[in-house]
Every structure is written in C-alpha cells, then in structure tokens.
Structure 1
C-alpha cells in the first residue's frame, strides 16, 4: 500500500517532466504557445528545451526550403497570344513567430502564395510580348533545318529587351514585399512550362504544316529542274556520241568502199572479159529463176556469153 502511494506521485512527476521537455531538430523551428498565444522567442537552434506541461504547447515549422507548385493557367501576352503558364517556386519560413500569427501553418501559407505569386506572374506575362517570356537573349538560334531559313527571314519575330530570366526575377521582386508580412522568404521563382492554348496550337500547327509543304514544294521544283537539266545534258551527249559514231562509221565505210573499188578496178584491169563474165553470172543468178520469164532479142548483150558458148560448141575441134 505504501509502495502504491509512492509510485503514483513518481508516475505523475515522470509524465510532467516528459511533457515539459521537447526537442528541436536541425530542420525545424518551434513556437511555444500558452492558451493559443505565442510566448517567448522562436526556438530555431537544435537542442533540448523545456516548457510548462499541459499549459504550454509546441508548434513545429520546417526550417528548410519548401516547394510551391502553382496550377497552370491561361494568360494572354501583350501581343494577344494566349498561352498556358505553369510556375513553381521555392520558399522558406524566416520568421516563425509572424508566420504563426498570420497564416498559422504551411497549408495557410500555400493559399497566400497561390494568390500572390499567381497575381505577379499574370501581371508580368500580360505586360510583355510572347518572345520576352520564351527567350532571354537575342542570341541566334542554334537549331538548323534545311529550307526553313528562307521562311524565317521573311517573318519578324521581335527583339528581346527584357527576357525570361528578368521576368522571373521581376515576379520574385514583386511578390517578396507582400510575403514579408507573413514571415516568408521567396527564394526562387521559375516558369516550368509555357505552351499555346489549344486554339492557338491548331493555328500554329497549320502554319508549320503550310511552311513544310512550301519547303517540300520548293525542293521538288528544284529537283525537277535539276532532273530536266540532267536529261537535257544526257540527250545532248547522246546526240553528240551518235553523230560522232555515224561520222566515224561513214568514214570507215567510205574508206572500205574506196578500197573495194580500187580492188575491183585492179581486178577488172587485169582481165576485163573475165570480170564481165562474173558480173553477168551474178546477174543471171539474181534475175533468172523458175518463176521468171524474159523476152529478149537474139542480139541482146545479156545473152552474149550464151551465144559465144553456143558458137564454140558448134565449131568442130581441129586436131
């Protein structure tokens, strides 16, 4: 019985001591409240701390960087181009006491960030042309596409005077003074993604298709012109080769005919009678056959050799 009376107070004391001790981690900072009101200074250094049990409460807040990811929204640029803008930011709690008294927790802070950062993003996007949000310098694009350069030269894309990097910096600078009242420091703001709205996408894609068709038609016309040029050169070369070959053939044929005539002339001069006889035989062979009929006089030159043959056959031989 005595042991029971001793244990109960010890347990109560142990619970009181346990509830009066709290630990602050390296990534945390603590505000101690009493009946809902903050008391003392924030505990930002890691270590072991004490508070009144049951009366005082500890409120933990992260000390490291926190992520804010905004909802994508449709925003018109200064040149009336509607785009979808997706933004994200990094922030941290630099004054946990003010943070606790104003937004109370991270969820409340996110709602404030939504309002402030989204408003700043909309203000800057609508104040500048699209090219300012997309690019940061006037550096020549290092992309290359055959045939597209001629089209780009005819369309003015505008000059970058501010640039994307300075726009995001302006969004941060415009948002930060409003966040100071909540004990929040905005570390960085970035445009995660920019895209055309669906209606603008269709017109952009249609223009890109038309440009590619124009490039393809240009290549086709150039190819057809080059093909006609090659075909013309081919026909010209064929005619040149044919004419040269015909001339060479005629020269060879002429020389051959001249040599043949010379041979015939020499042969004819050696024995004109025999030559005449051979030519007559050729004529008989070609002109006289079973289906041919000739009516000639007896004194025709064509039958001269037949008549001479008959005369020799009739004449008696002399021994």
Structure 2
C-alpha cells in the first residue's frame, strides 16, 4: 500500500513538472524588431532606418543566393554569392552600425523570390555537396561582413521537402556548432508547396530555428484584424513552440496594413502575451515614407507590460 501511494505521488509530481516545463517552453512577448534591407537597390543605408534603443533590432541583408553572378545565373550547388546593395550596405557599414548601436545585430537572408528576372529555385544536386559548399561559402561571407545570423527565405523549389529539410537543417546546425552564427530564422508563407518544405524542416530541425518570420503580408490585401488573428493562431499551431513573428509589407500590397489595423492586432497579441516580435519587408520601400511604421512598431515593442 505504501509503495502504491509513493508511486502515485511520483507520477503526480512528474506530471506537475512536465506541465511547468511546457508552460516555460511557450514563447512570450518580446521586444524584437527585424527589417529586411538591400534587395531593391533604393540606396537605403542602415543609418537611414530609425532604431529605438529599447528594442532588439535585427537588420536582414537580402539576399545571398546560391547562383553564379553571370548574365544568366544558374544554380551552383550551395556556392552563395551576394545579391544585395553592397555599395550602401558594405562590411564597414555593418561594423559601423553595430558599433554605434549595441542593440543591433545583422543577418543575411538566403534565397528570396527572384534572380535575374527569374525565380530563385532551391535545386541541389546532392545534400552532401550542397551542405559542404554552403557552409564554406556562407562562413566566408558571414565573417567578411561580421554578421550574426541567417534567415531562410527560399520560395521556389525543384527539390522535395526532405532534401530541403536536410540541406537547410544541416547548414544551420553546422554554422551554429562552428560558432559562425548565433541565431537562425525561416520565412515561410501560406502556400502548399512552401509550407510542405518549411514544415518538413521544422519537424526535424525546429530546435535549431530561433524565429519564424511568417510572411503574413502574403495573405490577401485588405485582410481584417479578425482574419489576421485567425491566421496567427493557425500558423502558431503549425510551427508549434516557435517564436512566430508578425509582419507587414511597406508598400501595402498585401495582408493587414499598418494603416488598417495591424497595430490593433499587435496590441491584442501583446495583451495575450503572444507578440514574439515584428518584422518588415522592407526598408527599401519604407525609405520613401520616412519609416513611419517602423517607428510605431518599435514604440509598441518597447512598452514593458
């Protein structure tokens, strides 16, 4: 009898500890703000973008692509080259903004939508060679630019989800293990092919992924606050346990606009302790408007309550 009571008590304690651990694992509010920069060659510089000293700020250079740099780019199996505005976003400018602002980190994003007027496809010939080449080429770029992390933004695929998961998962794992990067993010959106690839990656390597930059602006233009909240709940469930960041697009071409309720949704998520951060596509487009919504986003994130 005493043994039975002891065993039952032990089971209860284990259940309590397990429940507490699951609570602790759920992401909470964050003051993280992230912004893509450099893809559209609008002469935007790091110093153009307002930076609130009370947020954690990530610039994401866009893009590094595993294509060659000839007039007719072709896949080079993990050998990455720089396709962002290097005249305005150089290694010295990265070092300068990080020295000026202790709350700033800089990452690079891989892939993107297009290259040389065509789609940028993920199409490795083999996992082993792609990972080896990617680790080598990206380590060189990351060290040259004094970067802190990587973002995965492939949007077009000629490889199956398992190949994508292994290539990207092994890349992130190796770069972290080698001390080359301190964080990694992914940037999926609600498309069946895209989600099949990113969810395969998440299921196997989600523990290596620090942020989910979900492209909520890929939903229809004119998205309502209630629709946005529903989308957020759905994607948070799919990327279970992940820090799913909310987002808007500067040109207002999709999703829930900052002028149409985006900050209402953010405030509600913050009230629910689910505002894990905000990211923007992109500084290149925001420059013309004076970064009004970047300022508003960071002010909201900086409020501590």
Q: Shared fold by TM > 0.5? A: no
TM-score between the two structures when normalised by the length of structure 1: 0.18
Which gives a bigger RCO, structure 1 or 2 (Cα 8 Å, sep 6+)? 2
Bigger helix fraction:
1
Q: Which has the larger radius of gyration?
A: 1
